[in-house]
Structure 1
Amino acid sequence: MRLRLVKQNTSFDFFKRANLWLGISGLMMVVAFVSFIIQGLNYGIDFQGGTTIRTQAESPVDIAAYRTAVEPLDLGDVSITEVFDPQFADDENVAMIRIQAQEGEEAASGDMIADVTAALQAVDATLTVQSVESVGPKVSGELIQTAAIAVVLAIGAVLIYIWLRFEWQFALGAVAALVHDVILTIGVFSELQIRFDLAIIAALLTIVGYSLNDTVVVFDRVRENLRKYKQKPLKEVLNLSINETLSRTFMTSVTTLLALISLYVLGGDVIRGFVFAMIWGVIVGTYSSIFVASAMLLWLGVKRDWSKPTDEGGTQFGDVDA
């Protein structure tokens, strides 16, 4: 007997409340945009410029004592946070000290790091510096611009690819889903004030690729069924296509999430932001492939006079049992 996560030959009506799903997506995007305007992002050292010092001590981290120790150094904005990780031993107490970029300096000076280390060791003699990361203000500004260009170019390339492979209606539907995923991911980082650094940009580009792959599988089956059922209304063809690929979509998302959740729990704090972005991206990417991309295609319509023969396209694995 074979275990199925999704029953065979499903017949869900995904467009029964299409306007409701699009309305929810639109509302979430508005909330994300407003949060970004009001709160902004909690930029990491890559984008903000400054120095991050990672320390480790045998005694528990006393954030108040650490802050009192570095205040006389007059370093400007200093953020001190304790790092928690289930893999840390009892004598591994890790803290992250973020210091804003110093005026007139492109990188942290050795004297400043030595002064901070000495001040903290006066609080806890067992404290040691594990790593130091420094990014100048000019470099951080260039990184923000380059990261934004990278995301925009990726989405633009997707628009051209889908336009050439399918039709312009498919392209707009796919890009709408990608923009939806990127905005919601940036929005959740703004709302929760999770550190936003270069690793998150890598996650955004990965999310674009994941969501696109899922959308293309559905769209390939839509194109195949449009040629196969020339008289069926577009809504019925879309519902049929999504149901036929639902097993593959569900299995891919669940197995990906299992790996990501394991990384989030056991992977440590260094990659936790990246993994969180990926988990969120897989969830919203799966949702958008069905309820945003396909709904946009239904709204835009598509020509039905294709004379090309039916082919399997890229959906030979679309009905894999899950």
Structure 2
Amino acid sequence: MRLLKLVPDDTNINFFRWMWLTSGVSFALMIASVIVLFINGLNFGIDFRGGTTIRAESTNAVDVGDYRNQLDDLGLTDVSITEVFDPTFGERSVVQIRLGARQDAEAVTPAELDTIHAALQEIDPAVTFTAVESVGPKVSGELIQTAFLAVGAAALGILLYIWLRFEWQFAVGGVVALIHDVLITVGIFSLFQLRFDLSTIAALLTILGYSINDTVVIFDRLRENLMKFKTTPLIDIMNLTVNETLSRTVMTSLTTALALGALLVFGGDVIRGFVFAMLFGVVIGTYSTVYLAKNIVLQLGVKRDWSKKVHDPEREVAEGSPFSDLP
């Protein structure tokens, strides 16, 4: 029986052939993301911009699509409708309706609530509003600050972890790759004005964990090879390491992308922003692990014998290596 292999065992790809090009493109995209972010800003959802949440209950079965179509003609802002499932509800159907805040008001008025209620009663006479909550811009501003502090704290924690586990050069390479992934993902959300809410922050934190996991696997193998091949140039050992772990990287990224692709198509509007951020993060995270993190480590150099000087990456690139003729 022949096993399916996406990457042959004898793969020998020179990942440093276009080192300066890939690094240049990565840093250019990071700068472009910052510029787009300053120009366009982010399309904040209800969590960050403020708005109103309505809890609606009915004794009839609820069709979220019908609810959404019924509210589309009312001129509401940033409408999100989700059905809530809980065994304690019994025969009741519970729906959460979220309405974005408008510039001229923090919350919907009682008259607007009556209009929304009347519109839903046309398709479901049994619907009732059991709770109405509003979030003002002050609370939303605090959420924005806390969310970005969470991302920064996660990146700092990862930096310290890699520094303690490996060497500071690995920590710098890993964290720059993480900043690269998060910044470009946020830039995409700003460029296309995709809704940015707490679920997107959750996706960014997940991207941090996913990307650094792949990076640590490669760093672990690199450390083993550094001890095994003590006199081999650093650039050769890095190429060998990435080729050895390439099968694992491709399989992990591909299976994750397949699952996220299914969720993106069939998951509905509620989780679409989260899934898109995750899917894009998997792609850009795999790229940064293979091309950016190791490039930075190569430039910083790694000592294997403290009685000798750090390897000179420019000299090693100039002298060439067994990988120099590879595609």
TM-score bucket (shorter structure): 0.7 to 0.9
Q: For 1:203-258, what per-residue CA distance to the aligned partner results, in whole angstroms no more than 9, with x for missing partners?
A: 11100000000000000111111111111111111000000000000000001111
Paired letter, 2:39? I
Is the Cα–Cα contact under 8 Å of residues 71 and 119 in structure 2 kept in the other structure?
no
Is 2:134 the counterpart of 1:126?
Answer: no
**Do 2:169 and 2:301's aligned partners in 1 also have CA atoms closer than 8 Å?**
yes
1:27 is displaced (CA, Å) by: 1.4
> Hey, what does 1:256 align to over in structure 2?
256
Partner Cα distance (1:129, 1:185) in 2: 40
Amino acid at match of 1:25: S
Deviation of 1:112 (Å): 4.8
CA contact (8 A) 1:52 1:132 kept: yes
Contact 1:45 1:134 in 2 (8 A): no
Residue 193 of structure 1 aligns to a residue in which SS?
A: coil
Is residue 99 from structure 1 mapped to residue 96 from structure 2 by the alignment? no
Q: CA deviation at 1:166?
A: 0.4
Map of 1:66 onto structure 2:
74
Matches for 1:30-179 after TM superposition, within 5 Å = 30-51=31-52, 58=66, 61=69, 65-67=73-75, 79=77, 97-100=99-102, 111-117=110-116, 120=119, 125-126=122-123, 134-179=134-179
Q: Which residue of 2 aligns with 1:227?
A: 227
One-letter identity of the residue aligned with 1:249: T
The answer to whether the 8 Å contact 1:49/1:101 transfers is no
Deviation string for 1:261-312 (max 9, x for gaps)? 11111111111111111000100111111111001001111112179xxxxx
Contact 1:50 1:102 in 2 (8 A): no
Question: In the aligned structure 2, how far is the partner of 1:214 from the partner of 1:64?
Answer: 43
> Are the aligned partners of 1:214 and 1:249 in contact in 2 as well (CA < 8 Å)?
yes
Residue 125 of structure 1, CA deviation: 3.5
Encode CA deviations 1:145-183: one digit per residue, 9 max, x unaligned. Answer: 111111111000011110010000000000000000010
1:13 aligns with 2:10: no
The structure-2 alpha-carbon separation of the partners of 1:275 and 1:129, relative to structure 1 and needing over 3 Å to count, comes to farther
Task: Report the count of equivalent residues.
Answer: 282
Contact 1:81 1:97 in 2 (8 A): yes
Residue in structure 2 matched with residue 206 of structure 1 by the alignment: 206
CA change 1:66–1:129 in 2 (3 A) is farther
Give 1:198 deviation, angstroms: 0.4
Aligned match of 1:217? 217
CA RMSD of aligned residues (A): 2.9
SS at match of 1:79: coil
**In structure 1, C-alpha distance between the alignment counterparts of 2:282 and 2:128, rounded to whole Å:** 36
| Uncovered stretches (5+) of structure 1, i.e. residues with no partner | 68-77, 84-94, 308-322
Answer whether contact 1:162 1:168 (CA < 8 A) is retained: yes
Asked if 2 retains the 8 angstrom alpha-carbon contact of 1:50 and 1:101, the reply is: no
SS in 1 for 2:302: coil
- The whole-number CA distance in structure 2 between the counterparts of 1:97 and 1:18 is 48
Deviation of 1:192 (Å):
1.1
CA distance in 1, matches of 2:68, 2:266: 21
The letter for the 2-side match of 1:31 is: A
Q: Are the equivalent residues in 1 in contact too, given 2:162–2:170 (CA < 8 A)?
A: yes
1:62 Cα deviation after fit: 8.2
Query: Residue 315 of structure 2 corresponds to which residue in structure 1?
Result: none
User: Quick check: 2:49–2:100 contact (8 Å CA) kept in 1?
Assistant: no
Counterpart of 1:87 in structure 2 is: none
**Cα separation, partners in 2 of 1:59 and 1:186, compared to 1, 3 Å:** closer
Residue 49 of structure 1: how far off its partner (Å)? 1.1
Contact 1:45 1:52 in 2 (8 A): no
Change (3 A) 1:65 1:260: closer
Contact 2:13–2:239, Cα closer than 8 Å, also in 1:
yes
Letter in 1 for 2:182: V
What is the CA-CA distance between 1:100 and the residue it aligns to?
2.5
2:192 partner amino acid = L
